[in-house]
Structure 1
């Protein structure tokens, strides 16, 4: 009887340790980020870009019909644009793309006001570091 009680106590301690040190800690913390670009010559948000860690989804909003579209880009630490998307709807709806960012690497979200989908000259921009 004592051997059985000792064995059960040992198993219970081992399970408690496994839960406390392994099963309860996630591999990666969820990091969500937002960057906002302000209106030109006025106050308020013209557009924004967000990163949702779950699924690595990037969303770009054009918040106002001000004659400028919004381009959101994901840039790596060396300055290379990895993905870019344009939103010129001006009514607060969004466009999205997915990009699997890797832990330990540097990335930046850049959101700019531009004049048209093919415009490569930004009017005004904002950037934010994003990581996993």
Structure 2
């Protein structure tokens, strides 16, 4: 057998296996975040959707005396339906998490807001980001 033929066959077989593996593996979307900044451009709070496990983390980054609330909404016919909300009043540099199974083909929006306590109905400032699977 010709060594060149053997090498080409090995390369073709390896490429075919790599292609089959990439087709069989599910697509993994990148993490998505909504960030809230102050007037000076400093990061105050953020909510991150970690696609691996569909975990949402709600971060408070700024020692300003405000807690933060992260929420997830399903959007149907232009209406936002709140699915989950979590308050993080642990202080700057801390985060809390929640899990929600984000389904392919559905439209979601995540929101991060500063609030004055867990039961504050009116947010001070908010930022939004669409979430897709």
Task: Check whether TM > 0.5.
Answer: yes
**TM-score scaled by structure 1?**
0.79
**TM-score scaled by structure 2?**
0.79
Alignment of 1:76-91 (within 5 A): 76-78=74-76, 79-91=80-92
- Corresponding residue number in structure 1 for 2:28: 29
TM-align CA RMSD: 2.2
If you compute each CA radius of gyration, which structure gives the higher value, 1 or 2? 1
Q: Which has the higher strand share?
A: 2
2:86 match: secondary structure: strand
Q: What CA distance in whole angstroms lies between the structure 1 residues aligned with 2:42 and 2:14?
A: 54
Q: CA contact under 8 A between 1:35 and 1:128: conserved in structure 2? A: yes
Structure 2 unaligned spans of 5+: 1-8
Alignment of 1:88-107 (within 5 A): 88-107=89-108
Q: CA contact under 8 A between 1:73 and 1:110: conserved in structure 2? A: yes
- Corresponding residue number in structure 2 for 1:124: 125
- Corresponding residue number in structure 2 for 1:61: 59
Cα distance, 1:24 vs structure 2? 1.9
Number of aligned residues:
119
Q: What CA distance in whole angstroms lies between the structure 1 residues aligned with 2:106 and 2:71?
A: 16
